[in-house]
Amino acid sequence: MSSELTDSAQYDELGTSGSRLDNRSSQMINKRNLFGAGLAAVMLMAPQAVFAAGFANTAHSATSSGMAGVATANPDEPNSNFYNPASMTLRDQWNVYVGDTFIAPSVSYDSPDGTIESQTVSQVFFPPNLNISVPFADDFAAGVGMTFSWGLGIEWPDDWLGRETFRAQSLQTLNVNPSVAYSVGDTGLSVGAGAQFLFTSLTQEQTTILRSDREVDVMLGGTGNGFGATFGAMYQATDEITVGLNYRSAVRLNVDGRAHFSEDVNGTPFEQRMVDQDISTSLTVPHTINAGLGWQVLEPLWLGFDINYMTWSVYDQLEVEFSEQSPEGEPGETEPPLVIDADWEDAVALRIGGQYDLHDQLRGRLGFAVDMTPVPDETVSPSLPDNNRFVFSGGLGYNYYAFRADLAYQYVYLPERVIDNGTVDGTYQLSSHLVGLNVGYGF
């Protein structure tokens, strides 16, 4: 890889006699920074609106969301394919549950000296969810679910201080999840298994400052897919106690995409580095293990507790491949891969929630969760200034014969995270509001 362009004669070749690149831009000109750092920002992105630390999204049911994500051992949870496929055997007729989650994230930034403040652009995300299950034979059930289980995004203003690291980015992953379940006679045990078909898309924008009066937008995007498995079990230990287990395997997402520059830089020293070209990488989403306990305390009151474990340590590094020839390589030689360390750590979340029958047809829900961050100080960046998350939630559920409707609200609060590792140093504050609405038939 060629060295950074810091020689004054190279600046003059831009046709800007006497103009000099500022200090920040002189550190961001080589091809590895332009492509690799940009794509790495996508993969290390901050889907600030999600509700499990890292970039997992677990809000796929207003029933669960009203109890801060408690679902694994809840016999009344309608989105069985995602939260526990074994619970499909508890329904005696076909059912459908569909809805949307409206998510409004916010991230603020303060520079180390306190002189610069920024706020992300206001956005609302609305990932939909769908669950269908059908009983057949005596003890079997089958179903299919659709969720957007990884992603969302962030956008900073055009003039943000850190725009050379990234400015806007989005990661969306559709998970199509068919499952089957079996009730093991009169034992009180049900088991389920299924597949995950993941389809992902990502986009990212950042800015390269060539000089004080000229900036080039760098846009990257790509799509990919992957395959994984699921397993669930639910055990009715007593008339009041249920125990649940749900496992979702890690999935490797192979992504192919394109890098594009907003301006033509032919005739400048940058033309060999700012070249539209194909890029590829891969991202592994972690294994997820959920264990839950449900307790029908009194006739109108049900309480649940979930513990969630995600193996974020599978996300140790990102390797980016380029398709074009290296400026200093042999004929036909492409740019060497860029390897970026992430070194994330496994993380745990604890959730507690409950629902109370306010009326024959109306239920109230409350919940609280603590979700540990997997992102260490050494690699935390402004694209994901993650921290431990605290979730406060409430909701309502209404039944009318076989129809049901559920409404939920969550507030997600993250304490300030200070970045001091040479990226865009400063203090970051994240929070998010969520409103979930689902309707169903067959319950």
**Hunting for tokens 């055990």 — which residue is that?**
235
DSSP letters along 10-79, please? HHHTTT-TT----TTGGGS-SHIIIIIIHHHHHHT---TT-SBTTTB-----HHHHTTTT--TT-TT-S-
Does residue 292 fall inside a structural domain? Answer: yes
Does residue 117 fall inside a structural domain? Answer: yes
Q: What is the pLDDT along the chain (443 residues), one digit of tens a residue?
A: 333 222 333 323 323 333 333 333 333 334 444 444 444 443 333 333 344 567 899 999 999 999 999 999 999 999 999 999 999 999 999 999 999 999 999 999 999 999 999 999 999 999 999 999 999 988 999 999 999 999 878 888 988 888 887 788 888 999 999 999 999 999 999 999 999 999 999 888 888 887 777 788 888 889 999 999 999 999 999 999 999 999 999 999 999 999 888 876 666 666 666 778 898 988 899 999 999 999 999 989 999 999 999 999 998 877 888 887 655 556 666 666 677 778 899 999 999 999 999 999 999 999 999 999 999 998 888 777 889 999 999 999 999 999 999 999 999 999 999 999 888 899 999 999 999 999 999 99
Name 422's Cβ contacts closer than 8 Å, sequence gap at least 6: none
Cα–Cα dist 429/427, whole Å:
7
Of 355, 383, 373, nearest to 204 by C-alpha is: 383
Identify the sign of the CA torsion 63, 69, 75, 79. positive
Of 404, 357, 305, 335, nearest to 71 by C-alpha is: 305
Does residue 146 fall inside a structural domain? Answer: yes
Does residue 354 fall inside a structural domain? Answer: yes
Cα–Cα dist 410/392, whole Å:
6
Name 330's Cβ contacts closer than 8 Å, sequence gap at least 6: none
In contact, 369 and 351? CB cutoff 8 Å = yes
Does residue 3 fall inside a structural domain? Answer: no
SS3 (DSSP) at 273: coil
**Would you give the DSSP letter of residue 94?**
-
CATH code for position 326: 2.40.160.60
Q: Which amino acid is at 425?
A: D
Q: Which amino acid is at 95?
A: N
Dihedrals φ, ψ of 295, to 5°? Answer: -140, 115
Does residue 65 fall inside a structural domain? Answer: yes
Of 442, 435, 352, nearest to 396 by C-alpha is: 435
- Beta strand ranges found along 111-240 (DSSP E): 117-119, 128-136, 140-155, 168-183, 189-211, 214-236
What is the domain count for the chain? 1
What are the beta bridge partners of residue 181? 141, 192
Does residue 365 fall inside a structural domain? Answer: yes
Cα–Cα dist 204/283, whole Å:
15
In contact, 222 and 175? CB cutoff 8 Å = no
DSSP letters along 295-311, please? EE-SSSEEEEEEEEEE-
pLDDT of 406-422, one tens digit each?
A: 999 999 999 999 999 88
Does residue 135 fall inside a structural domain? Answer: yes
Cα–Cα dist 433/334, whole Å:
45
Name 115's Cβ contacts closer than 8 Å, sequence gap at least 6: none
Identify the sign of the CA torsion 337, 374, 161, 420. negative
Please report the pLDDT score of residue 10 as a whole number. Answer: 30
pTM of the model: 0.84
Please report the pLDDT score of residue 333 as a whole number. Answer: 61
Please report the pLDDT score of residue 173 as a whole number. Answer: 95
**Residue-number span of the structural domain to which 347 is assigned:** 8-441
Cα–Cα dist 153/388, whole Å:
18
pLDDT of 10-50, one tens digit each?
A: 323 323 333 333 333 333 334 444 444 444 443 333 333 34
Please report the pLDDT score of residue 53 as a whole number. Answer: 64
Identify the sign of the CA torsion 372, 377, 382, 384. negative
Q: How many residues does the chain have?
A: 443
